[in-house]
Structure formats: C-alpha cells, structure tokens
Amino acid sequence: MHLIIPDIFTRLLESVMLNIDEPTHTQSKFSLFKLGFRPFFLLGAMFSLMAITIWGGFFFGHIQFSPHGDPIWWHGHEMIFGFVIAIIAGFLLTAVQNWTGQPGVKGKSLMILVLVWILPRVLLLNKEWVSLEVVMAIDLAFAPLTALLMARSVLKVKQWRNFVFVPILLMLMLVNAISYYGLLTNDPALSQTALHCAILLMVTVVALIGGRVIPFFTERATQWQRSPNIVWLEIVTFISLIFLILAVLFQQPLVIRTSAGIAGIILLIRWSRWGGRHTARVPLLWSLHVSYFFIPLGLLLIATGENFSAGLHGITLGGLGGMILAMMARVSLGHTGRNLTPPKIVTLAFALIILATVLRILAGLMMSYYLPLLEAAIVCWVLSFAIFIYHYTPILLRARVDGKPG
C-alpha cells in the first residue's frame, strides 16, 4: 500500500498533460471518464445512498460495523469528505473547462483521481483493514490534487476570478487533517469542530457557485431579468461566512450565534434577488431556489441558540444535499447534449430531498418525535438519490447525444 500511493500521484501528475479532446469519430460509447462530472456525480450519488443506508441501519440497530473513529464520526466525515466534496470536485473540474476554454481532466488522470477519492471511502469502513494513518494520507491528497488540476487551467489564462476555489479546496484539506488529528489524539470535540468548519467552507463554495448559476439559469428559462450584482452585498456575504468559520473554529458561542444570524440575513437578501418566484413551472429551477433557501434558514436557526443540530442539518440536507441533487440533474443533461428536461419522476426526487430536510429539522426541534422523524428523513433521502441514480446512470455512462467530446 505504501508503495502504491506515491505511484498513483506520480501517474496523475504525468497524465494530466494528456487532456486533449478526441475527434468525435474515435470516441467510445462508454464515457464515464470523459469529463469530471460523470464519475463524481454518479459515484458520489451512489456513495451518498450507501452511506445514509449504513448510517440509518446502524442508528436503528439493524446492522453493526466498526469504521475508523466511530460510526458518528464516520457519518459526519463521509457525508462531507466523501459525498459533498466529490460532487464539488466533479462540478469544478467540469466548469473550469467552460470558464477557461482549457481541456478538462479526463481519461487516465481522471481515473486515478477517482481512485484517490474512492479508496478512503472503502478503507474507512473497517478499522481492521489498514491503519488510520494510511487512509488519512490518501484522503488528504484528494482536495489538493483537485486544486492542482483546476489551478493549471485557471493560471494558463490568468483567470483570477475563478482561482478563489483553489485556496478553498486547500482549506478543506486542512480542516480534514484537523478532523483526523482529533481522532489520532482522542479529541472528539476537535474532530467535530473541524467537520463543522468544513460544512461552512462548503457553504461558501455553494454560495459562490449559486450566486453565479442560479440567477443565470433563472433568467435564461423564464421571463425574469436579473439585476446587476450589488458589489457590497457580495463582499459582505463572504466576509460574514469567513467570520462564522473563524468563530466555529475558535468555539466562541456568542460570536457563532451572532455571525450565523448576520450571515443568514445577508444570504437571504442575496437569494431574494434571484427571481425565485418566477420558477414554479420549472423543476430544475425551483429545486435550486428552494434548496438554497435552507442555507440562510439553517444559519438563522443556529443564531437562535436553541438547537445547533437542527440548523446544521437544515444546511447539510437542504442547502448542500438539495443543491447537489438539483445541480447534478441539470449539469448532467446540459453537458451530455440533452434538452434540459429531466424525467418527470425526478421532480419527485427534488420534493423528497426537500421533505427530508424539513423532517430532519423537525426531528431536532421536536425531540419527542425524534426517532420517527429521523427515520422518515432517511427514507426520503435514500428514495430521492435512488431515483437520480436509476434515471441518470445511462446518461452519465454514455457518450453525448450530439457527438461532441465530453
């Protein structure tokens, strides 16, 4: 294992030089590794379904397993650094091709990057298989490798606006390392703090991406016309999120609640300018708007100081999970040359992920009904991603319908 890991990274760095688009007539029908969104959306969605099923089975006493750390740490860590980061990587490695005009990572280099992601997902499931230090070494490599691949394209065209995602990915590596350090030093509070910081860093990524694509998509698909961004509002949005991350990192409860309240209000004002009321007839749009709404709602729940868990799960299930499902559904169609009309049952998947979020928030606020509400939320999550996987697997595996590369 120790000899294989450096070789994997060497091969990735060497093969990234080979990202040259193939002529249309030479492309194979199997296209999983043609562009970043394909393997990470598909495998990330599958992993999400599996991880929640395992967690629910363990929590309700149906299964037993002995992951590294403990099942609670594993659940939090793997939903963030297993599921969410995979989708973010898939989106960024696809979007950077459009932003910069540079060929995206694909083929062998993409396969190796996927392997770097998937190995820790498997190895963390059983602490007897390999030492935590080995798993940690592989897992911590994923974010900087993704950052490197993205930075190459951005730096070639000096597109500094999009370079912001590179330091965020490196910060995600840092908080992941802190989470592992908490395990190694038997400090669960430190691990939990690191995971909370990771969630807020991912909220920052979603806020950056959402602020670009949600109003853009809404304007294109409806009669609504967007107004120019308010510069000071954009700046204050990310300053407030940075302050909140620092407050969580240094565990200052009053500052956490205050920062969460300010960030929640600012994000809510920002969201209100994106034309959500015009999207009721377009599932690919209202799913984005409703899901994003759970981020400021979760922050405002945290600000009340009543139930941190309810607010945090509002952010993770709705703001991250719901946004991910909606973005995967849209990006997978657009980047495979298909019309932006998902199968009708996918609308049910959007509704189920929203219902899962509401149920999970209520579970945190109504403790006497905690177990049945939690169980219902798990079922809704599993069904929503099962629908996506069933209908989108052929789309993500097969070549573009328009014959173009990607």
Could you read off the pLDDT of 74-116 as tens digits, one per residue?
Answer: 999 999 999 999 999 999 999 998 888 888 888 999 999 999 9
Average pLDDT (359-380) is 94
Q: Dmax of the chain from CA atoms? A: 61
Average pLDDT (231-249) is 92
Cα–Cα distance between 154 and 135 in angstroms, integer? Answer: 30
Is residue 270 helix, strand or coil? Answer: helix
Q: Tell me what pLDDT residue 99 has.
A: 85
pLDDT at residue 254 is higher than 70 = yes
Average pLDDT (68-78) is 93
The amino acid present at 228, given as its one-letter code, is P
The residues spanned by each domain of the chain are 33-186
Confidence of residue 19 (pLDDT cuts 50, 70, 90): very low
Give start and end residues of each alpha helix (H) in 60-131.
71-78, 85-100, 107-123
Q: Tell me what pLDDT residue 251 has.
A: 87
Which position has the token pair 């149906």? 62
**Residues 27/399, Cβ–Cβ less than 8 Å:** yes
Q: Tell me what pLDDT residue 102 has.
A: 85
Written as six digits, the tokens of 79 are 């939903």
**Residues 380/397, Cβ–Cβ less than 8 Å:** no
Burial (CB count <10 Å: 0-12, 13-18, 19+), residue 188: middle
Helix and strand numbers (H, E) in the chain are 15, 0
Give the whole-number percent of the chain exceeding pLDDT 70: 93
Q: Tell me what pLDDT residue 389 has.
A: 97
Average pLDDT (225-240) is 90
When mean pLDDT is compared across 97-101, 170-174, 297-301, the lowest value belongs to 97-101
| pTM of the predicted structure, to 2 decimals | 0.90
pLDDT at residue 140 is higher than 70 = yes
Average pLDDT (370-391) is 96
CA 154 vs. chain centroid, Å, equals 21
pLDDT at residue 318 is higher than 90 = yes
Confidence of residue 266 (pLDDT cuts 50, 70, 90): very high
Beta bridge partners of 30: 398
Cα–Cα distance between 60 and 371 in angstroms, integer? Answer: 9
Which position has the token pair 């709404």? 293
Written as six digits, the tokens of 342 are 């998902």
Residue among 169, 120, 115 at smallest CA distance from 146: 169
**Residues 67/127, Cβ–Cβ less than 8 Å:** yes
Confidence of residue 180 (pLDDT cuts 50, 70, 90): very high
Output the CA torsion sign for 115, 121, 124, 126: negative
Q: Tell me what pLDDT residue 314 has.
A: 95
Give start and end residues of each alpha helix (H) in 273-369.
283-304, 308-313, 323-334, 344-365
